[in-house]
Structure 1
């Protein structure tokens, strides 16, 4: 597949690119600052203001978009993911690309379905207070994708707490949260797995690493 990766200079995005190249995919990355991204051999780098530019353009022949966009700080009030994905969706429509997978987070599922009752009652409210702007942004991103159902085949992954550990294998839970930490390498692997699986379109998945 020809994959377009947005947010490639971030911790998760870098792993997505590395694993995609290793799997034999053709990869184009959209980055704001090419100085912050060291491209593996064969990766095409496009300088693009995905968050700020409604006219951002996708390369010809793209098959799917992987969004690993995220805030640099949970206290940043800017709607980075909402605006970025909105601009990506518009670019996809212009190019006739339907498939997109995006990184969200488990607190976005406000019911906490799949989590223990004590976690939903005690931990989740505190998490939402501390990350109010962060999760509001991700909720806006998910609404943007759901509103584009007629034009897009979208899938959202909602990992729990991310840690920089080696891949350990992972489990996905459809339309619920998975309990446990997530190794970034597992998140990257899951993104690449679901992007090629049309059966996952139209769903959000909780994600946890098998070791957690």
Structure 2
């Protein structure tokens, strides 16, 4: 497949690029600073842009089979960036008639497991309060996707870890894995690539965790 990855220098984004190349896909990595991208490969195209407008992004998505995005705030002071940048990507996709998009959100934005205990509910409440502005941004981003008319999937991980790819994680379409408190960035990337051609995840939020 021909894939475009936004947020390609982030923890999940670089893993998506690395694993996609390893699987034989052609990858366009969209970055602001190419020096921050450590991945290389014959089938890799590095596309530099600051995502200031959709017109500058259109060449990066034209003719692609799917777009995968790890765009988002790195801290509370960046809240709002996920919605703004995702809107730019969606506008470019619409102009180029590209439909498939997978985006990273966060577990607290979606539903909690029905069997969540008091500890999980308490931790979720504290984290949601501390990162309220970030999660408000991610909810707005998800609303943009839902209105976009694209074949979208939102991937909602819990606390992220830097761990080697295991391929051993749980996913729940429309929900979240019971007692799923952590997941590695490499496994989130693996899940996103697996969902790219999974019709069962279209227009769905998918919880992913160990």
Q: Same fold (TM over 0.5)?
A: yes
Instruction: Determine if contact 1:39/1:45 at 8 Å carries over to the other structure.
Output: no
Instruction: Determine if contact 2:105/2:156 at 8 Å carries over to the other structure.
Output: yes
**How does 1:5-154 map onto structure 2 within 5 Å?**
5-42=5-42, 43-50=44-51, 52-55=52-55, 56-57=57-58, 58-73=60-75, 75-109=76-110, 111-114=111-114, 116-119=116-119, 121-148=121-148, 151-154=149-152
Structure 1's consecutive aligned runs of 4 or more residues displaced over 4 angstroms after TM superposition are none
Instruction: Determine if contact 1:180/1:208 at 8 Å carries over to the other structure.
Output: yes
Instruction: Determine if contact 1:102/1:156 at 8 Å carries over to the other structure.
Output: yes
Which of 158, 161, 166 is the aligned partner of 2:159? 161
The CA distance in 2 between the partners of 1:14 and 1:192, in whole Å, is 13
Instruction: Determine if contact 2:61/2:92 at 8 Å carries over to the other structure.
Output: no
Going from structure 1 to structure 2, the CA distance change for 1:15 and 1:80 (only over 3 Å counts) comes to: same
The CA distance in 2 between the partners of 1:41 and 1:172, in whole Å, is 30
Q: Deviation at 1:115? A: 5.2
Instruction: Determine if contact 2:61/2:93 at 8 Å carries over to the other structure.
Output: no
Higher helix share: 2
1:205 aligns with 2:179: no
Q: Deviation at 1:79? A: 1.1
Q: Deviation at 1:120? A: 5.4
Q: Deviation at 1:116? A: 1.1
SS for the counterpart of 1:182 is: strand
Between Structure 1 and Structure 2, how many residues are aligned?
Answer: 204
Q: TM-score, normalised by structure 2?
A: 0.91
Structure 2: gaps spanning 5 or more residues: none
Structure 1: gaps spanning 5 or more residues: none
The CA distance in 2 between the partners of 1:79 and 1:153, in whole Å, is 23
Q: TM-score, normalised by structure 1?
A: 0.90
